[in-house]
Amino acid sequence: MNATPEQVVELLRQTNFSTLDWAIVVVYLCVSLVIGVWVKQYATDMAAYIGAGRSVGVWLGVATMTGTELGLVTVMYSAQIGFTGGFAAFHIAVIAGLVTFVVGATGFVVAPLRALGVLTIPEFYERRFDRKTRVVGGVLLSVAGVLNMGLFLKMGSIFIVGVTGLSPDSGALTVVMTVLLLLVLAYTVMGGMISVIITDYIQFVLLSFGLLLTVGVAIWRLGWENIFQVVAAEKGAAGFDPLQGEGEFGPEYVLWMLVVGLIGCAVWPTTVARALAMESTQAVRRQFMWSSISFTARFLIPNFFGICAFVFFSTHSTEMRELFLSPLPGGASSAFTPSLYAMPVFLGHLLPTGVLGIVAAAMIAAFMSTHDSYLLCWSSVITQDIIAPLAKSEMTDQRRIFITRLLIVAIGGFLLFWGLFYPLEGDTIWSYMAITGAVYFTGAIPVLVGGLYWKQASTAGAFSALLMGFTALVGLEPVRQTLAKTLAPVMGDSETIAAALSAERCGLAALLLTCVMFVAMSLLFPDTRPDARQRD
């Protein structure tokens, strides 16, 4: 049996989400908005606006970093991976946690960056290399960063549509996307990092307890042993062993996750921005060691929701099984992606009224805490590292804050456009994010690590490594497909070529290329003057 579009809508409407749940969500949103706008009075200069006056304590740092990195998009893509890959997906969480702990214990990259007192990563590029590297680094960082968050808005809206039982084809997705965006823009534009940190804290509290509550209810309803048994019966060993090539992952994927895990905590700008806002390097280290727990949980818990959704739809009813576990017929519903809708629809069926409202508010909290931080991060990079260095005269703090606010709104507009028009077929969301992020981080890893720890690192090496980062774009599904079709006449079947150009393989190859370029160009074209740190 194949579900018709009407049956899809009808099945999605069978949710426990009620008026009480809507009321809980609306009250939460109002409280968050009011607090976010209230703290606007403290954003008096640029250091306060984008760095919260560098006065954030360890616990608040842990809460706000968790709030930022445990976004709704993370919940959505991790649930999708859990749904398709089973317990084998847990390897991503374990790697992320271990790597974050090691970075905290050693202070790798983040401690020396905080010690330098820079506000953004490209600012370090200028101090270590030159202004040109700062501008190029800023351009790459903002392009990759904005592209990377391109699907956040859509993912958040899919969650809300799925959990509330709205129709994915009725235009509800666009309306939800617009409303969510306007809410986040309102308080981020006004209060900057101070609003972001305070609202992140509230969102952390709601989110943490909401997630723990949901895990408890899921285990209680589905049965602890039953969850493992159903995955074993349906997916076999591939549902548990991440190294099995015939499953969703394999050794290359695991290696790629190791790289992505390191980037996620030591090089990714929104995480580094939190480190740079801490009161001391010691606080940075403690913040990262504690955050290793939440860096594990941010993948593990949503993975588990995806697994539970898989178990639920495998055993619930024939209609649900057909809808979520069978390939979708062409004309069934263009806006419906089963693996993405699985987790929110599952929660809509699992949680009772009232609890569902709290969990939905927690997920919206996750959505907002990530959006505000990312919007502020990319817009401040464009202001501080592209516009200000290129400006003919010194820009005042007020002028910088004004430009940053305009950019936040402009990026918001892009997110709405991109979310509506980017095709989701083929890529999992996680692959999309890893590859768009790779445009920045494949270049940033050698430049940051080499710049901090290798005396012979030169401007030419940094410049070429940053530019080489663009090669990671080959890993995006539309680019891979186009490339495969172009190469097909000379290299054979286009499907085989596209399969060989897997996202993880393209990402690893791009990283290798940038590292080789960085070392080779640094040795061939050394700097003739000492770096700014030595000049100071």
Given the rule CB under 8 A, which residues bind other proteins?
39, 41-42, 44-45, 48, 52-53, 55-63, 66, 87-88, 90, 93-94, 97, 194, 197-198, 201, 204-205, 208-209, 211-212, 215, 228, 232, 236-237, 240-241, 290, 293-294, 296-297, 300-301, 304
**Among residues 369 and 471, whose Cβ is nearest to other proteins?**
369
**Among residues 192 and 461, whose Cβ is nearest to other proteins?**
192
Contact 374, 382 (CB under 8 A): no
**Among residues 56 and 343, whose Cβ is nearest to other proteins?**
56
Shortest gap between Cβ of 296 and other proteins (angstroms)? 5
**Among residues 125 and 290, whose Cβ is nearest to other proteins?**
290
The token duo for 322 is: 């057909």
Contact 271, 264 (CB under 8 A): yes
CB hemisphere CA count around 376 (13 angstroms) = 33
**Among residues 71 and 97, whose Cβ is nearest to other proteins?**
97
**Among residues 205 and 335, whose Cβ is nearest to other proteins?**
205
User: Helix, strand, coil proportions of the chain in percent (round to 5)?
Assistant: 80, 0, 20
At 278, give phi and psi (nearest 5°): -75, 160
**Among residues 56 and 415, whose Cβ is nearest to other proteins?**
56
**58: enclosing H helix or E strand:** helix 58-69
The token duo for 43 is: 């954003």
**Among residues 249 and 470, whose Cβ is nearest to other proteins?**
249
Strand partners, 278: 56
Task: State the Cα–Cα distance between residues 341 and 429, nearest whole angstrom.
Answer: 13
**Among residues 150 and 239, whose Cβ is nearest to other proteins?**
239
Shortest gap between Cβ of 243 and other proteins (angstroms)? 10
Shortest gap between Cβ of 173 and other proteins (angstroms)? 31
Shortest gap between Cβ of 233 and other proteins (angstroms)? 11
Shortest gap between Cβ of 360 and other proteins (angstroms)? 19
Shortest gap between Cβ of 287 and other proteins (angstroms)? 10
Shortest gap between Cβ of 397 and other proteins (angstroms)? 11
**Among residues 301 and 342, whose Cβ is nearest to other proteins?**
301
- Going by C-alpha positions, the residue among 138, 80, 174 that lies closest to residue 418 is 174
Shortest gap between Cβ of 290 and other proteins (angstroms)? 7
Exposure string over 455-492, b if 16+ CB within 10 A, otherwise e: eebbbbbbbbbbebbbbbbbbbbeebbebbeeeeeeee
Shortest gap between Cβ of 363 and other proteins (angstroms)? 16
Contact 29, 36 (CB under 8 A): no
**Among residues 90 and 341, whose Cβ is nearest to other proteins?**
90
Task: State the Cα–Cα distance between residues 43 and 472, nearest whole angstrom.
Answer: 37
Shortest gap between Cβ of 384 and other proteins (angstroms)? 20
- Going by C-alpha positions, the residue among 457, 464, 500 that lies closest to residue 481 is 500
Q: What is the 3-state secondary structure (H, E, C) of 202-249?
A: HHHHHHHHHHHHHHHHHHHHHCHHHHHHHHHHHHHHHHCCCCCCCCCC
Backbone dihedral region for residue 474 (phi beyond 0: left; psi -120 to 50: alpha; all else: beta): alpha
- Going by C-alpha positions, the residue among 141, 428, 83, 381 that lies closest to residue 263 is 141
DSSP 179-206: HHHHHHHHHHHHHHHHHHHHHHHHHHHH
The token duo for 367 is: 């959505």
- 484 Cβ contact list (under 8 Å, min separation 6): 494, 495, 497, 498, 501
DSSP 101-146: HHHHHHTTTHHHHHHHT-SSHHHHHHHHS-HHHHHHHHHHHHHHHH
Shortest gap between Cβ of 196 and other proteins (angstroms)? 12
**Among residues 219 and 255, whose Cβ is nearest to other proteins?**
219
Shortest gap between Cβ of 45 and other proteins (angstroms)? 8
51 burial class (0-12, 13-18, 19+ CB within 10 angstroms)? buried
